[in-house]
Amino acid sequence: MILVTGGAGYIGSHTVRALEAAGFTPVILDNFSTGHRSFVGGTPLFEADICSPSDMHSVFAKYPIEGVLHFAGKALVPESYENPELYYRTNVTGGLNLLSAMKAHGVRHLIFSSTCATYGVPESVPITEAHPQRPINPYGETKRAFERALHWFNESCGLQYLSLRYFNAAGADASGQIGEDHDPETHLIPLALDAAAGRRHDVKIFGTDYPTPDGTCLRDYIHVSDLARAHVTGLRALLDGRVKSQPINLGTGRGYSVREVVESVRRVTGREFTVRETSRREGDPPVLVAAVDRARELLEWTAVESDLDRIVASAWKWLMVRPRSN
Ligand code: UFG
């Protein structure tokens, strides 16, 4: 079985479905602090908290686990400024609880949800995995800290791992059953779609004075279903010993500005909405675009569902059907 921590969350739930479709048997571990019970479906569930060492030992004692996909964690940059201790406790200490339990139970394969936020403000783009990691927010710092722990568990006790550094995950599964649903929502695409749906007064553009072609930040948006497929491919390669422990970027290699995303939302939805230009948001690098050669070469993976309008259309479809949390 494959343990999926955070399997009731956004990227975790999409990956659970991809694992099942590929013939793996996942078991979800989630404490539902941000995950959704409705995302679990018929998959085995172990309701537990990564911050509890005894919970982590119990799940390995209960199930015959051969590998772990580790999604559980805190992932909002603004919240990480308000509550850095929560980020260290969950993303670092919680992760170490998982590694201790894996070590005690002889489980040696792990895929970690890492992030482009570990790079900070890039010196060059597209960003390769060799680019220096100098995070500029507490969230990125905690993710980097756990990446370093993985490195040393690999050196000292043979843990085999991949740190998948996602760029901007977006979009929703074609089924319409799962998708992005954060509370509070801070991400651009769902907020712009909320404005298009009339569920918000407006969408704000945070900063129009960045050193980019239209003055707004550039991001590399990657469809969550492409991310899910990369996890399955990465897991197979890791379990078969075809790939060494290392970080791998997951993105498209193409950046879109905030204004371009807003235009895509207008185009796809056919709705008009108010856009307000405001000052920069703390902790936002101007440009984050992935170099994707490593994923292509080692995993034979490239994004195929990440055309921006297609991402936005899938998120729009999900918004129309999902239960309203506000
Ligand atoms: N933005 C706006 N208005 C909004 C929300 C966002 O202009 O209402 C802008 C942001 O300033 C940023 C871009 O839209 O330039 C994308 O912002 P998101 O909040 O959607 O995503 P982030 O780039 O902040 O976050 C992503 C991942 C994080 C990761 C971060 C790295 O979701 O996990 O990239 O900076 F940490």
Residue 322, pLDDT score: 85
- Calculate how far, in angstroms, residue 92's C-alpha sits from the geometric centre of ligand 1: 22
Say yes or no: do domains 2-169+222-250 and 188-219+253-321 share a fold: no
Query: How many whole angstroms from 164 Cα to the centroid of ligand 1?
Result: 18
CATH superfamily of 2-169+222-250: NAD(P)-binding Rossmann-like Domain (3.40.50.720)
List 119, 139, 166, 256, catalytic entry: 139
Which residue among 219, 256, 279 is best mutated to probe the pocket of ligand 1, counting the most ligand atoms within 8 A of its Cβ? 219
pLDDT of amino acid 294: 98
Taking the C-alpha atoms of residue 125 and residue 251, their distance in angstroms, rounded to an integer, is 13
As a whole number of angstroms, the distance between CA 181 and CA 12 comes to 13
Query: What's the confidence (pLDDT) of residue 182?
Result: 87
Helix, strand, or coil (residue 307): coil
Asked if 112 and 72 count as a contact pair (C-beta separation under 8 A), the reply is no
The alpha carbon of 261 and the centre of ligand 1 are apart by a number of angstroms equal to: 12
Low-confidence ranges of the chain (pLDDT < 70): 323-326
- The H helix count followed by the E strand count for the chain is 11, 14
pLDDT value at residue 326: 40
- Closest alpha carbon to 9 in 27, 29, 36, 28: 36
CATH classification code of 188-219+253-321: 3.90.25.10
CA distances to 172, 201, 301, 318 from 321, in Å? 11, 20, 30, 5
Assess whether 139 carries a catalytic annotation: yes
Indicate the length of the chain as a whole number: 326
Closest atom of ligand 1 to CA, residue 284? 35
Q: Which residues contact 252 (CB under 8 A, 6 or more apart)?
A: 167, 220, 221, 222, 290, 292, 303, 306
- Spatial neighbors of 189 by CB under 8 A, at least 6 apart, are 170, 171, 180, 221, 261, 265, 311, 312, 315
Around ligand 1, the residues with Cβ closer than 6 Å are: 75, 77, 115-117, 139-140, 168, 186-188, 191, 203-206, 217, 219, 258, 281, 284-285, 288
Specify the DSSP class assigned to residue 5: E
Q: 82: Cβ–Cβ under 8 A, 6 or more apart, which residues?
A: none
The neighbour count for residue 199, using CB atoms within 10 Å, is: 13
Q: What beta strand segments (E) does the chain contain?
A: 2-5, 26-30, 45-47, 67-70, 109-115, 160-166, 168-170, 202-206, 218-219, 221-223, 246-250, 256-257, 274-278, 287-288
CA dihedral 234, 67, 158, 247 (to 10 degrees): 30
